Chain A
Amino acid sequence: SQKIEQNSEALNIQEGKTATLTCNYTNYSPAYLQWYRQDPGRGPVFLLLIRENEKEKRKERLKVTFDTTLKQSLFHITASQPADSATYLCALDGSGYALNFGKGTSLLVTP
């Protein structure tokens, strides 16, 4: 069956450090992979999309890598700030036109 796996344990890091979150998948052949941020009780907010033929994508302090051989994406936040504390979700295009989400990883950045 198709699976999208993100670290279920919260990631705690110190302000200023780089946070790295992982998304692994099985039984998908995605054309693209997306990352979202979600704050408690609010809707997810789209951050970045990377296509299968792209290795890396950047947006300000965010960087995403996509390795279709390893079936893995890494999401990096450089110079992290307390305001970056949230849950980060990985999403893949599934069968048909479905978009399937992982369960997310909670990030806590402490001053």
Chain B
Amino acid sequence: EAQVTQNPRYLITVTGKKLTVTCSQNMNHEYMSWYRQDPGLGLRQIYYSMNVEVTDKGDVPEGYKVSRKEKRNFPLILESPSPNQTSLYFCASSLSGAYGYTFGSGTRLTVV
């Protein structure tokens, strides 16, 4: 089944403890992207990648890192999480910019 898989689905962590949210797609898509979704603010793009080793900042990149060493994987790294990073995170992938995105099921992160 064609899908984007994120892990974990739920995560509660403490301020400052480094964490990684994994994202993997099995559709051989070139484009991958991370979003966060907050009430009243909608979906905001954190980082996106057009291909292996090619990434760029979205609207809200502060406090996040990404890497794209393989086409299928696009992990999101929070080096020192803070409570304002508590949010619902989505990974998405697309064949190219002119096609619709397939989204993962989301990761609900709480930083205390």
* Contact of A89 with B by CB under 8 A: yes
Among A59-111, those with CB < 8 Å from B are 89, 93, 96-104
A103 vs B43: C-alpha distance when bound (angstroms) = 7
Q: Which of A42, A46, A100, A104 contacts B101 (CB 8 A)?
A: A46
B54 nearest CB neighbor, chain A only: A97
Q: Which of A49, A99, A104 contacts B33 (CB 8 A)?
A: A99
Number of interface residues of B (CB under 8 A): 28
Chain B contacts of A46 at CB under 8 A? 100-102
Chain B contacts of A32 at CB under 8 A? 98
A98 vs B41: C-alpha distance when bound (angstroms) = 17
Q: Is the CB of B48 within 8 A of A101?
A: no
Other CB < 8 Å A-B pairs besides A51-B98, A98-B48, A99-B33, 19 of them?
A32-B98, A36-B100, A36-B101, A43-B4, A43-B106, A44-B43, A44-B92, A44-B101, A46-B102, A47-B100, A96-B48, A96-B56, A97-B56, A100-B45, A100-B59, A101-B44, A103-B40, A103-B42, A104-B42
Which of A's residues lie within 8 Å of B, judged by CB? 31-32, 34, 36, 41-49, 51, 89, 93, 96-104
Which of B's residues lie within 8 Å of A, judged by CB? 4, 31, 33, 35, 40-45, 48, 50, 56, 58-59, 88, 90, 92, 97-106
